[in-house]
């Protein structure tokens, strides 16, 4: 089949050229840019995979027409995977060590490594044009890496303990908004533990029980759409609860601020039913943000950290507290989506059990926080980086005890200070105007830098990431 052979040669050549053009960016990267060991592992994977893919394609020849019919789709599949990888390479190259929230990320990694079975976790970061962390679907990279391994002989295995996490490019030098990275890590860890299979099974059972005859009469495609919707919502809740258990209330505060959820508060600081209206709506792609905050508040209320929420005294912590009073019925719309919300509500105990299992035996960090939050905040009040704080004052009988607060304490105490004390800090500065939002931004950046520096110091002096 000379003509077909010519066509095959053309298609294979075009695919090799495409793979080369994608991978060459990893090989010829800017020598002045520095990357973390995790990013280097990612680049090495791409280079090795490109090498193996090109070798395989160079010898790709169907033996006859029947073989051609059977195997032509392979080329299409290999190209589809490389198109997918294409989306991540330049954004990962952009996230060199000068352009990414590295100290916050390193602090979050250190905290995650405290969890049983996650000691070897590593994270490569990429900068994304998405405005928020929680809509970056990171697990798709691992799925595509497995797909191509089934096609290309000796293709390298993408390390299962290497997470690929997207950070909005605008947040590369902020601190508190990046607490939302924990949500993405939740996706990675859920994926490692095959969480979605169990959540989809639970969703299926719940939908069957709730829908009755409607379920029995539905075809497989319809049922699959329902299961994917409820299973997807449950996974999002899992990731939020993971974030809260990993980082404490600062995760929920970042979430509330990012989505401007305080817009439902009236002038007295109370949730207004009228304002809440549309905000209670679920979408096929994600649950209502207020529903999600309510779930975060519930898991916090059952933990030691609730004391910190109730004593913070900010409108953001107030919203978190008040979210518990919202009747679940307001989330259940009078349509099919509302019926699916019912099915989700039925499986929430399983979602909580799944996230609880991840943290089984882990220290919740409350003890350290309750001892160090006050000194950390008083350091911030005087504009001092809280890297080494006095935990126990010196007495006649003993020396003072100086400790380096952990990222968990620094992020929570720092965020509470940011939510409640910016004005106080500014009033200590001569000629500063606490009513100027522009000047407040300046001081918020300073607070973030102090916290970020203290996290770096903690890692240098004891932890590692
Ligand atoms: Zn998500």
Cα(70) to ligand 1 centroid in Å equals: 37
Token pair of 126, please?
């990429």
Cα(201) to ligand 1 centroid in Å equals: 19
Residues of the chain above pLDDT 70, percent:
97
User: 319, 328, 158: which is closest to 253 by C-alpha?
Assistant: 319
Q: How many Å apart are CA 259 and CA 380, to the nearest integer?
A: 27
Cα(151) to ligand 1 centroid in Å equals: 29
Cα(239) to ligand 1 centroid in Å equals: 6
Cα(240) to ligand 1 centroid in Å equals: 8
Token pair of 57, please?
């394609």
Which residues are close to ligand 1, an ion, with C-beta < 5 A?
134, 236, 239
Q: Are 322 and 349 in contact (CB under 8 A)?
A: no
Cα(187) to ligand 1 centroid in Å equals: 7
The pLDDT value recorded for residue 137 is: 67
How buried is residue 230: exposed, middle or buried, by Cβ count under 10 Å (0-12/13-18/19+)? buried
Q: How many Å apart are CA 465 and CA 354, to the nearest integer?
A: 26
Cα(26) to ligand 1 centroid in Å equals: 28
Indicate the pairing of strand 122-128 with strand 162-168.
Answer: parallel
Cα(27) to ligand 1 centroid in Å equals: 31
Token pair of 80, please?
């589809």
The pLDDT value recorded for residue 99 is: 79
Q: What is the SS3 assignment for 446?
A: helix
Cα(65) to ligand 1 centroid in Å equals: 45
Among 91-105, 145-159, 242-256, the range scoring the smallest mean pLDDT is 91-105
Interval 97-143: pLDDT, tens: 877 788 899 999 999 999 999 999 999 988 888 887 666 667 788 88
Per-residue pLDDT band for 465 (boundaries 50, 70, 90) equals: very low
Rg, C-alpha atoms of the chain: 25
Cα(136) to ligand 1 centroid in Å equals: 7
Q: How many Å apart are CA 222 and CA 275, to the nearest integer?
A: 34
Cα(138) to ligand 1 centroid in Å equals: 9
Cα(231) to ligand 1 centroid in Å equals: 12
Interval 189-224: pLDDT, tens: 999 999 999 999 999 999 999 999 999 999 999 999
Q: How far is CA 25 from CA 9, 18, 233, in A?
A: 25, 12, 37
The pLDDT value recorded for residue 277 is: 81
Cα(188) to ligand 1 centroid in Å equals: 10
User: 277, 284, 249: which is closest to 263 by C-alpha?
Assistant: 277
The pLDDT value recorded for residue 135 is: 64
Q: How far is CA 42 from CA 26, 141, 156, in A?
A: 9, 11, 11
Cα(245) to ligand 1 centroid in Å equals: 16
Q: How far is CA 40 from CA 25, 30, 98, 189, 263, in A?
A: 13, 13, 15, 21, 42
Interval 428-461: pLDDT, tens: 999 999 999 999 999 999 999 999 999 999 998 8
When the pLDDT of each residue in the chain is averaged and rounded to a whole number, the result is 91
Cα(372) to ligand 1 centroid in Å equals: 32
């Amino acid at each position: 089949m000379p003509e077909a052979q010519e066509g095959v040669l053309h298609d294979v050549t075009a695919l090799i050229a495409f793979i080369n053009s994608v991978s060459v960016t990893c090989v010829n990267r800017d020598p002045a840019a520095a990357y973390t060991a995790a990013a280097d592992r990612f680049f090495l994977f791409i280079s090795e995979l490109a090498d193996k893919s090109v070798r395989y394609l160079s010898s790709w020849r169907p033996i006859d027409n029947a073989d051609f019919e059977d195997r032509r789709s392979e080329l299409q599949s290999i190209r589809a995977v490389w198109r997918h990888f294409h989306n991540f390479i330049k954004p990962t190259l952009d996230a060199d060590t000068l352009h990414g929230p590295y100290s916050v990320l390193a602090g979050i990694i250190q905290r995650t490594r405290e969890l049983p079975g996650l000691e070897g976790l590593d994270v490569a970061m990429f900068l994304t044009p998405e405005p928020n962390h929680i809509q970056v679907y990171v697990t798709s990279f691992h799925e595509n890496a497995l797909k191509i391994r089934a096609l290309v002989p000796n293709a390298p295995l993408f390390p299962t303990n290497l997470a690929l996490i997207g950070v909005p490019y605008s947040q590369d030098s902020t601190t508190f908004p990046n607490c939302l990275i924990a949500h993405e890590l939740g996706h990675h860890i859920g994926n490692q533990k095959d969480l979605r299979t169990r959540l989809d099974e639970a969703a299926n059972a719940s939908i069957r029980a709730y829908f009755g005859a409607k379920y029995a009469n539905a075809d497989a495609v319809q049922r699959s759409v329902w299961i994917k919707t409820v299973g997807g919502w449950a996974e999002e809740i899992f990731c939020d609860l993971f974030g809260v258990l990993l980082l404490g209330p600062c995760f929920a505060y970042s979430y509330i601020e990012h989505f401007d959820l305080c817009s439902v508060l009236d002038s007295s600081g109370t949730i207004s039913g009228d304002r809440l209206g549309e905000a209670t709506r679920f979408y096929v792609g994600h649950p209502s943000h207020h529903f999600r905050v309510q779930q975060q508040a519930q898991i916090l209320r059952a933990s030691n950290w609730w004391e910190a929420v109730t004593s913070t005294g900010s409108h953001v912590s107030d919203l978190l507290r008040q979210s518990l009073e919202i009747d679940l019925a307001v989330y259940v719309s009078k349509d099919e989506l509302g019926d699916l919300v019912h099915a989700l509500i039925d499986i929430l105990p399983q979602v909580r059990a799944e996230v609880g299992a991840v943290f089984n035996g882990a220290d919740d960090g409350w003890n350290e926080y309750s001892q160090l939050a006050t000194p950390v905040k008083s350091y911030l009040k005087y504009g001092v980086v809280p890297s080494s704080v006095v935990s126990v004052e010196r007495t006649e009988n003993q020396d003072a005890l100086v400790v380096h607060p952990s990222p968990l304490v620094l992020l929570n105490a720092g965020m509470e200070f940011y939510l409640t004390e910016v004005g106080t800090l500014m009033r200590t500065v001569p000629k500063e105007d606490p009513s100027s939002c522009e000047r407040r931004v300046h001081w918020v950046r300073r607070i973030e830098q102090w916290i970020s520096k203290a996290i770096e110091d903690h890692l240098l002096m004891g932890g590692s990431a």
